[in-house]
Structures are given as C-alpha cells and as structure tokens.
Amino acid sequence: MSEHDELVQRQRDLLAAEKWSSGVKSIHAHQLSSMYYDTRPEDTHSSAVTDKEFNNGVIERYKNGKLIHTFGEALTGQALIDSYKRNTK
C-alpha cells in the first residue's frame, strides 16, 4: 500500500510544481551585456531590454514590449519537483 502512497504524493508534488513553475521569479530591466545566461549581448547595444525569469528556469527577453528571445529550457519531472521543494519550503 505504501508504494501507492508514494506515487500519489509524487503526482501531487508534480502538479503543485507545474503550477508554481509558471510564476515569475524576477524581472530585470537593464542595458547590460554581461548577464550569466546572455548569449545575445547585441540585444543591449542600442537600448534596454527586460528579462523575465520564471520559476521553471526559463528567461524571456523583451525589447519594446515584444518577446525577442527565450533563454534556457524549462525544468520537468523530478528536476522540477526538486526545484519546487527547494524554493518553497
């Protein structure tokens, strides 16, 4: 019976983590070309950009209100659950 309890709890954790993952972790408006994740420093040469980081690890870059690039890959499965537990408990 306990093996089913563990599976049910994992599914609960996964559903909670998936909901949490779409939340915004930070918003950073800047004109820097030295961000640790930045593979596109040319975006900031002429004007500022806004980087929106989500709880799932994805960073969206906006310029003049339009999405111009996405950095990273979204966490999934156990990696997402681990990040959720680490950042919410």
- Show the tokens assigned to 51: 């980087």
Cβ(74)–Cβ(21) under 8 Å? yes
Write down the pLDDT at residue 1: 57
Strands 24-30 and 59-63, bridge-based pairing: unpaired
- Residue 3 clears pLDDT 80, i.e. is over it: no
Rounded-to-integer distance, Cα 28 and Cα 52, Å: 6
What would the mean pLDDT of 67-74 be, rounded to a whole number?
Answer: 97
Write down the pLDDT at residue 63: 95
Rounded-to-integer distance, Cα 69 and Cα 37, Å: 12
Instruction: Report pLDDT digits (tens) over 26-58.
Output: 999 999 888 889 898 899 888 899 999 999 999
Cβ(5)–Cβ(40) under 8 Å? no
Instruction: Return the bridge partners of 70, or none.
Output: 60
Question: Which pTM value belongs to this model?
Answer: 0.85
Q: pLDDT above 70 covers what percent of the chain?
A: 99
